[in-house]
Structure formats: C-alpha cells, structure tokens
Structure 1
Amino acid sequence: MEPQVLLDLKNVNKVFGNNHVLRDINLQIERGKFITFLGPSGCGKTTLLRSIAGFYTVDEGEVWIDGKQVNDLPPYKRGTPMVFQEYALFPHMTVFDNIAYGLDIKKRPEEEIEKRVKGALAQVKLTGLEGRYPHEMSGGQQQRVAMARALVMNSPIILLDEPLSNLDAKLREEVRVELRGIQQDLGLTVIYVTHDQLEALSMSDYVVVFNKGAIDQYGTPHEIYYEPRTQYVADFIGTTNFIEATVLEHNEREALVSYGKETPTKVLAKVLVNKGEQVLLSVRPESLRINHPDGGEFCIRATVKSSMFLGEKERYFLEDNAGKEWIVDAYDIGQTHYTGEVVITASADKLHLIKKNND
C-alpha cells in the first residue's frame, strides 16, 4: 500500500542574502489532493514551489517526496514537472514535440511516447492540434499544452506556478474548472501557486496561506474563509468585519465576550485566550443580516451610508453610533432596499474569535 503522505517538508528554510524567504516550513501533503499556496507577492509561495521542484536548494530542513529525501536530487530526478506562468513552450517545436520532450529525454520507446502524448492531448481537449506550433495557438490552448506536458510524465506531483494569470477572466474560469476536473478524474496530487483568493477557495482540497515566508494557516477552503486563525488570514481572504472585544469568561471551546455597550455574547473560541484579553471577532458580510425578524445573539444599530449592486447580492456600507463602519451583503434583491437607521444582527456561531495583531 502506498504511503498516504506524498510530500513531507520538515523545517525548511531558505535565505537570499539578508532576506529570510522561507521560515521553518513544516507541511505534509496527502496523495491525490489539490493544494494551493496562497499569499501576496513576495510571501515565499513560489520560492517553496521551486524548492520542491529542485530549482532552489533549501538552506535548512528536509524535502521528502514519496518516502525519499530529495534534497540532493536535481529537478529532472524528482518527478515534479512544473507548469510556469509563461508556459515555457519551445517555439520551434510542434505541440506534439513539446509534450513529448520529457519522454524523449528519458529515451522512452516511440510507440509509448505516441500513446502517452495522444492520451495527454485528449485529457486537455487538444486532440487534432498536435501539429501546430505555439504561436498558432491562443493563450488558453498554450496553457493546456503546458499542462499536457506535465501530465504525460505520469509523475506523483504536478507543480503549477500561477498558470492562469495571463488569461482573461472568462477563460480563467473555464480553465480553472478543467484543471480541477482533470485532477479529480486522474487522482493527481497538484500544488498550485496563486495570489487569487477565488482560485484558491474554488479549486482546492486544502489551502496554505503564506505570510512573510511562514505558513499562517493550513486548512480546507471553508476553514480558511470562515475559521481564520489569525488577523492576517481573516483580513487577506475576502472581506470581513472586525469587532474589538474583551474576554469576560472562557473555557476550552467557548468564550463570553463584550463589545462596546452591547450585551455580552458567547462565541466559539478555537484559540487559547485569557480572561480580560483584548481580542477580535471576525464576521463575514454575508453572515450579517439587516432588520431580520429572527434577530440573533449579536445585535447593533447602524445607519446605511451607501450600497452597491453586485449581481446576486446588494452590498451595504453602514456606520454605527460609535463611528465604526460595517459591510453587509443582502441577497433579498428586489424585495427590500434598506435606507436610514437599521438593525444589524448575526447568530453567535457566525462570530469567529481571533487574537489581535497575530501576524
């Protein structure tokens, strides 16, 4: 039986000059999962991807792939084909020859090469285009060729470095669905680098959020979005409302918190807190409701300042009596348009407690 953990990173560090780019990275990735490295430019996500591929040598720590330590192995011996942002296709080669390049280097039999290349072409929906050259293809087609070149190697891990960033919005969405479909159909292990939150949340089994060379959180898209562990993650992923609060009581699972002059509220607490500690509550705009008849444990009065139509929802911008700004998403479009003074409510399970300034 194959080991479930395919990639194991142990205390990985990388330094460029005075810049500590990767800080004590510890991460285990299971076979057959789609993992996204997410973060802003310069956070270390691409450096880690290249370190896994072998293009960079880590300064400290160990890289294990499929039960073998690969620190000293060159890229071509690691079995980690990489799809680059620029696609890196050979302009003088046909689509077929581009895809077959890695197999040619390994001196595979011609019969095997033809069979595997045709299979990869079918997987990325490019059958019949094998005789074309890169300049004769659209950006989306070139991206598919790059993906096919990785697929044809039958490698345990495929690495993708922002492969969709050069495509327009509609094509990005189409290729995003195709990539996820290929990964699920073939049971591939994919590590995908992006700064696009929508890509990360919509494609991944797990998301790794990077902050200044370190991992701030590793979890499912739902956990990353609704249960951020740090202020950085809550602020970086999507839009949220922060509420400054004080811990009045706490146990292993819950904390009773107060905020402003409102009635204390009991919320889930997945981080260790102390009595009297100043914390933040994070609540997403879609988790708040305006003038809802059922109310909720969280309740505050505010005044609508403006609104914005966003297709499936209306986004409201409000201000409470203390001058704090709020963002609320309402989905009852066409039924009610809110103006003036309103009541914002939420159930307590929508309030997520995090530590302040934990970045």
Structure 2
Amino acid sequence: MMESNILLDLKDVNKVFGTNHVLKNINLQIERGKFITFLGPSGCGKTTLLRSIAGFYTIDQGEVWIDGKLVNDLPPYKRGTPMVFQEYALFPHMTVFDNIAYGLDILKRPEGEIQQRVEAAMAQVKLTGLEERYPHEMSGGQQQRVAMARALVMNSPIILLDEPLSNLDAKLREEVRVELRTIQQELGLTVIYVTHDQLEALSMSDQIVVFNRGKIDQYGTPHEIYYEPRTQYVADFIGTTNFEDAKVVKYEGGLATVQYGQAGDTVTIEAREHLAVGEEVILCVRPESLRIEPSETSDFHITGIIKSSMFLGEKQRYFLVDEVGKEWIVDAYDIGKKVYDGIVQIGAAADKIHIIKKNGS
C-alpha cells in the first residue's frame, strides 16, 4: 500500500478548560517533510494544540491521526512526537549524553544502539565532544541543541517545538534559527514550531498556520500569508498594513473595480474570490508597496500630510494623515539623504493591492 503524504491529520479537534473553549473545531492536514509554524498571539490556542498533538492534553472532541494511526488514547511516549520545550527541560544532574539518551533508555534499547544513535544525533546538532558536560556548564544555545538532539535521537516522524528560541538573545536566536531550518531540510524532518514571532515564522516555514481565538484564520505559505491575507486579522497581525475602505463598482473575469477615498477614485484589482457589485471591501497595502510622489502611471492615489518620520537604517518610515484624518505608513528605501515633508501624494500599483471582504475579519 502506498504511503500517504499526510503525516498529521486533525479532525474537528476541540479543547475546553473550564468555561474557556480554547480550540474550536480545528481541521488541519500536515504533509511529511515540511516545516510548519503555528503563529498567533498569547492565548490563541497554538500551544494547546501542540500539546494536544503530543498527548499532554486530552482533547474533548475530535480525532488526532499520526502516520495513519488514531492516537487519541495513546500516552505521549507512544505517539512518536518528541517535544522541545521553551525551557528545554533538561535534567541538571545528567550529562549531555545521558540527557539525549533518556528516551531510548526508557524504551530499553540495547546499549550499542543507544551509543550509536546518541553520537549521530550529537553530530547533527554540532555537539560532538561535549558528551560529559552538564547543562549548567553550557550556553543557552548549546542547551537548545541538547534538547533538539534528544528529540532527533528518537527517529520520530514528527518533532514538536514550543517557542524553543525565546530564551536566547537576538543574535544567537538568529543563528540557531538558521541551524534548525538546515537540520530540518537535511534530514527531511516534519517539524511543527510554535511562535508568536512573525519574522521567525516568515523566515523559517514552508507553511504557516495563523491562529485567532482558538480557530485557524489561514493556512498557507509565508508569501500567501503576507501578500494574500484572507482576513483583516491576518493582514494586521503579520507585519504592518494600511487599510482603506472601498466599494465594488464592477466585477468581471476575476477583476474588481473598486471606488475609494473622498474623491471617489477607482482602481481595478485582481480579486481572489467573487465579489458582488455594491459590496463593501477593504484594500490592504503594505508600507513598502506605497511610493511618495509616485509616477502618473500609479493606479492608486492618496493625498496626505506627513506628520512624522523615523530613520530605520535601510529605510525611512513616514507617518501620514489623509484628507479624512486616517493614518498611513509608508516605507521609503534607498533615498539617500532626501527627507519628505508637508503635503505629498502617495501611490501604489494595482498588483500591490490586496482585497479582503468586509465580513472576513
């Protein structure tokens, strides 16, 4: 029988703590060999779902299938879902070798096999030669690698990571982020990674699951999540976005002409889904997609007054207010020493504007 490409299949998963309905009808399929990130603010359900997959929480309704097996009634150690925690959860009285070997010891694997698998896992995370050290003798980055090796040594089909880099400083965090992604790709691992850090999610993932109050708002590639958000919540949560109310005046062949602004200007934009004439929509424009003093060929125009600006190294960020008092953010790159001031026109090409339905929030 041919092996299914779906490694994890969640069907109508619900979890309730007291009166708090934390997970609401979660349906999700995850393919083998992918780096998947659960992204969202604190309290949105992402860690609860991760721990429900691992078996640390019992779900109240639904099914969890791993590698074609229903695992609802299996304890964590029988699910094949090793987890790397935020605080690493290393045993302080054990050496690095013994920490990594712990799961294999529990399973009573032969001593020779344990030695071989621990050495291989240590090599994968660049810890060879540190077998006899104790956790307190290691840096935060090294401890993180020990926790990762302890997961890798189990040869499991899926590895779960719960904000594992949050205790590291910014520079080390970036280094370990690259290492994690490299290990995942080299070994073809399936990884589910929980974070509230948008940059982390965008830079590491094959696909991102955006959570909103216990539900999945969108599941897609980093590019889709950033440039084609399905809801205003996703657009607002990922990066910085400008929103403009508009009304559909024509829809034909996947193209929507919408009216916006006080002057009733129109712009024609490719629409991802069918829109009705007269329907109210929201236009999303990223700050980097807007231009100050745009060329006459720009499709979308707004007049505004620059209230302040901020120098951010590679770009100058401008804060404007338009004719109706709405704030806009525009990022200008590679402008040298030129700084704009006063009343300006800002504009964007139609293919840089994304339409969201008003009710998709």
The two structures have a TM-score, normalised by structure 1, of: 0.97
Listed one character per residue, the Cα deviations across residues 59-99 of structure 1 (whole Å, up to 9, x for unaligned) are 11111000111111111110000000010000100000000
* Residue 151 of structure 1, CA deviation: 0.5
Tell whether the 8 Å contact from 2:207 to 2:221 is kept in structure 1 after alignment. yes
Q: State the 1:339 CA deviation.
A: 1.6
What's 2:344 paired with?
342
> For residues 93 and 254 of structure 2, what CA distance do their matches in structure 1 show?
61
TM-score (ref. length: structure 2): 0.97
Task: Name whichever of 305-314 and 161-170 sits farther off.
Answer: 305-314
On the 8 A contact 2:254/2:274 being kept in 1, the answer is: no
Matches within 5 A, 1:135-150: 135-150=136-151
Residue 351 of structure 1: which of 342, 350, 353 is its match? 353
1:231 matched to 2:232:
yes
Identity of aligned residues (%): 77
- After TM superposition, the structure 1 stretch with the greater mean CA deviation from structure 2, 222-231 or 335-344, is 335-344
Note the 1:292-311 alignment, pairs <5 A.
292-293=294-295, 295-311=297-313
Q: Give, in angstroms, the shift of residue 128 of structure 1.
A: 0.9
Q: Deviations over 1:105-160 (max 9, x none)?
A: 11111111111111111111111111100111111111110001001111000000
The one-letter code sitting in structure 2 at the alignment partner of 1:42 is G
Aligned-pair distance for 1:335? 5.2
Please state if 1:103 is matched with 2:104.
yes
* Matching of residues 249-288 of structure 1 within 5 Å: 249-251=250-252, 253-260=254-261, 261-288=263-290
The code of the aligned residue for 2:265 comes to: T
* Alignment partners' CA distance in 1, 2:33 and 2:254: 32
Cα deviation code 1:280-329 (max 9, x no counterpart): 10010001111133641101222222111112111111112222211011
Give the Cα separation in 2 of the matches to 1:253 and 1:194.
35
State the alpha-carbon separation in 2 of the partners of residues 252 and 161 from structure 1.
44
Amino acid at match of 2:305: T
Q: C-alpha separation between the residues in 2 aligned to 1:52 and 1:289?
A: 45
Q: CA deviation at 1:331?
A: 0.8
1:357 deviates by 5.0
Judge which range, 30-39 or 99-108, deviates more. 99-108
Q: Tell me which residue corresponds to 2:179.
A: 178
- Is the CA contact 1:295–1:345 (under 8 Å) kept in the aligned structure 2? no
**Which residue number in structure 2 is paired with residue 46 of structure 1?**
47
Tell me the secondary structure at the aligned position of residue 173 of structure 1.
helix
Kept in 1, the 8 Å contact 2:282–2:356? The answer is yes
Q: Tell me the CA shift for residue 252 of structure 1.
A: 5.9
Deviation (angstroms), 1:273:
2.9
Secondary structure, counterpart of 1:264 in structure 2: strand
Contact 2:294 2:348 (8 Å CA) reproduced: no
Contact 1:160–1:192 (8 Å) recurs in 2:
yes
**What CA distance in whole angstroms lies between the structure 2 residues aligned with 1:357 and 1:276?**
14
Rounded to whole Å, the distance in 1 between the matches of 2:275 and 2:44 is: 28
Alpha-carbon displacement from aligned partner over 1:16-39 (angstroms, at most 9, x marks no partner): 111111111010000000000000
> 1:263 corresponds to which letter in structure 2?
D
SS at match of 1:317: strand
Report runs of 4+ in structure 1 exceeding 6 Å deviation.
Answer: none
> How far apart, in 2, do the equivalents of 1:323 and 1:115 lie?
67
1:235-294 Cα deviation digits (max 9, x unpaired) = 111100000111112246221110121421111222343221221100100011111336
User: What letter matches 1:353 in structure 2?
Assistant: I
Partner of 1:15: 16
Give the SS at the match of 1:104: helix
Would you say the 8 A contact 1:316–1:328 is kept in 2?
Answer: yes
Specify the SS of the correspondent of 2:56. coil
- Secondary structure of the corresponding residue to residue 93 of structure 1: coil
* Contact 2:247-2:280 within 8 A present in 1 as well: yes
2-structure distance, mates of 1:322, 1:112: 71
Question: Does the 8 Å contact 2:306/2:343 carry over to 1?
Answer: yes
The letter of the residue matching 2:348 is A
Q: Distance in 2 between matches of 1:296 and 1:203?
A: 33
Equivalent pair of 1:35/1:204 in contact (CA under 8 Å) = yes
Gaps of 5+ in 2: none
Which residue in the other structure is 2:153 paired with?
152
Q: Please state whether the residue corresponding to 2:265 is helix, strand or coil.
A: coil
Q: Residue 314 and residue 186 in structure 1: after superposition, are their counterparts in 2 closer, same or farther (change >3 A)?
A: same
Amino acid at match of 1:247: V
Read off the aligned partner of 2:345 and give its amino acid letter.
Answer: V
Instruction: Return the offset for 1:172.
Output: 0.6
Comparing 314-323 with 43-52, greater Cα deviation is found at: 314-323
Give the aligned residue type for 1:103.
Answer: L
d(CA) in 2 for partners of 1:203 and 1:292?
34
Judge conservation of contact 1:252–1:269 (CA < 8 Å) in 2: no
SS in structure 1 at match of 2:30: strand
The amino acid that maps onto 2:292 is: I
Name the counterpart of 1:81.
82
* Equivalent in 295, 320, 340 of residue 318 of structure 1: 320
Matching residue of 1:329: 331
Alignment size in residue pairs: 359
Distance 1:118 1:50 in 2: 28
**For the structure 1 residues 183 and 285, does the alpha-carbon distance in structure 2 shift closer, same or farther, using more than 3 Å as the test?**
same
CA RMSD between the two structures:
1.2
